[in-house]
Structure 1
Amino acid sequence: MQNKLTLHLVSEATGQTLDSVARACIAQFPNTDVRLRHWNLIRTQIQLRRVLRNIALDRGPVMSSLTDPTLQADMEAGCASMQVRLLDVLDNALRFLTEETGEAATRHPGGQYIMDESYYQRIEAMHYVLAHDDGQETKGLDNADVILVGVSRVSKTPTCFYLANRGIKAANVPLVMGLEPPAPLFTTKRPVIGLTIDPERLIEIRRNRLSQMMPSGRQAASAADYAYVDLEKVQEELHWARRLCRRHNWPVIDVTRRSIEETSAAILDLVDMNN
């Protein structure tokens, strides 16, 4: 039987940083069922009092990323009065960097969310991914930071969108056995990286995709559908794609046991090596 815990996350901004920290930590406690309650954009004492009332009704520890000293002090006092544990996830890091830089932290709420050059770079990268998804606009491959290739349903598109959020312009080109890949793929100077996957896992993903796409009135799958999820055909397809990558010296990443984040980290390492 799992332990149960309500964990309150209180942030002055969007709460993304705090959520990421909390989820990374929660993953290390598989025997505890943790329910997250998010309290974002908390910037006034009225808002904070509302949060504290809700914590009193649904008691549980609190992780906070409040930077305003007054709100932080009120948060500490409120949690102490309820005998609820509070962890300020930014305090130690800010203190550490203050000591290292000799500069006092500005404690500006949401300071990481500013429309600077890197912000517009991410927007540009997102537009690029939209225009170059699934083999579109192959004449623009030379403008990519990286090009992903692979057979259908190996997570090329979601990986490209994750990379775009890091400011990386990523194009993806599907590899279809029996069809010649677009010529610009073989002449570009940009890094090309192949994605592959375990055939049985790929079949599982494709079956789920087919079931979602099947029209309600259609009772039987077509011959093409059967080939799409046939183990022998899928193995042949993956082997063909690997041979193509090997022939052109394109590195290959197996995504079978990797999350999108882990795959993207491996791609960025390869891109750095190429630069």
Structure 2
Amino acid sequence: MPQRSFNLHLVSDSTGETLNSMARAVLARFPDPHVIYHRWSLVRSRFQLDQVLEGIKAEPGPVLFTLVDRSLRHSLEEVCGQMGVTCLSVLDPVLDLIQSQIGEQAREKRAAQHVMDADYFRRIDAMHYVLAHDDGQGVAGIEEADCVLVGVSRSSKTPTCFYLANRGIKAANVPIVPTSPLPPELDNPPCPVIGLTIDVPALIDIRRHRLKIIGGVGVRQDTNDYIDHEAVKAEILAARRLCTSRGWPVIDVTRRSIEETAATVLQLMEAWHARRGGNAPTPGSIGV
């Protein structure tokens, strides 16, 4: 039976990232959800809420919200109740649990996670670091890194580093090139070094697409070692052997999202520091 499409309203007094993430996480468990998203962010006044309510009336559907202001919450819940529309404050169950454990009430402060505190500046600093140490640049600054990602070209090192930077992690990435030695800074690295690997067919597809984007002028795609099956296979095998010989863990990114790869990197970082009796950098929170 074909699924009926429905409207889903996400109402937030901040950026709405938490609502978006929660909705994606839940809907990912359904094979082919037909959802029409209505995203209402930075709703902080009665006038703005009235616009939201008009939108819900025009296209009714369940409402998920994160609103701190009590009067706005009450108005949203009241009008949704009158319309017979389901309305849910997604953070309330977690907030109640934490309040009961801590023994005090949470502050009524909207967008508290977005203040320009030390954590915010740590993420900005990490972003600048990734930009300066991408693809083998600035290897002299590796001693400042929280982790180093190594792998063959197009194995998702750069996007993973940027994702980690958004968590406040300074991640450098160094390519493993068949004919080039690794920088001497990795002979005795001061931080975890983690390899990224990928299946041969998947890597070839990515590299072919890359060649098409940059034009591939004068490059025969059927013979270039960059996308030749046997050459790529040997390149990946050599990279894995290198990581094994140095005791560096390897993550297969073939069927992983960037988020999953980054989560595994963080786990490996914690294990690395635990073996040495130290503490891994605490990942910063990503906005609600």
Question: Common fold, TM-score beyond 0.5?
Answer: yes
| Equivalent in the alignment of 1:130 | 131
Structure-to-structure mapping, 1:254-269, within 5 angstroms: 254-269=252-267
Aligned-partner SS, 2:187: helix
CA distance in 2, matches of 1:45, 1:129: 41
Does the 8 Å CA contact 2:146/2:169 hold for their aligned counterparts? Answer: yes
| Equivalent in the alignment of 1:234 | 232
1:224 Cα offset (Å): 9.3
1:100 Cα offset (Å): 2.2
**Is residue 247 of structure 2 the alignment partner of residue 249 of structure 1?**
yes
CA distance in 1, matches of 2:91, 2:183: 49
| Equivalent in the alignment of 1:57 | 58
CA distance in 2, matches of 1:68, 1:4: 31
CA distance in 1, matches of 2:213, 2:3: 33
Does the 8 Å CA contact 2:222/2:228 hold for their aligned counterparts? Answer: no
* TM value normalised by structure 1: 0.95
Structure-to-structure mapping, 1:1-275, within 5 angstroms: 1-214=2-215, 218=217, 221-222=219-220, 226-275=224-273
Aligned-partner SS, 1:228: coil
Deviations 1:76-99 (A, max 9, x none): 011112211111101222222222
1:223 Cα offset (Å): 6.6
CA distance in 1, matches of 2:209, 2:6: 33
Aligned-partner SS, 1:187: coil
Aligned pairs, how many?
A: 272
| Equivalent in the alignment of 2:285 | none
Letter in 2 for 1:57: A
CA distance in 2, matches of 1:136, 1:101: 45
* TM value normalised by structure 2: 0.91
CA distance in 2, matches of 1:55, 1:273: 48
State the identity as a percent: 50
CA distance in 1, matches of 2:103, 2:55: 38
CA distance in 1, matches of 2:9, 2:227: 44
1:166 Cα offset (Å): 0.7
Higher mean C-alpha deviation, range 142-151 or range 225-234: 225-234
Task: State the superposition RMSD in angstroms.
Answer: 1.5
Does the 8 Å CA contact 1:138/1:185 hold for their aligned counterparts? Answer: no
Deviations 1:191-231 (A, max 9, x none): 1110000110111111111111117xx5x634797221111
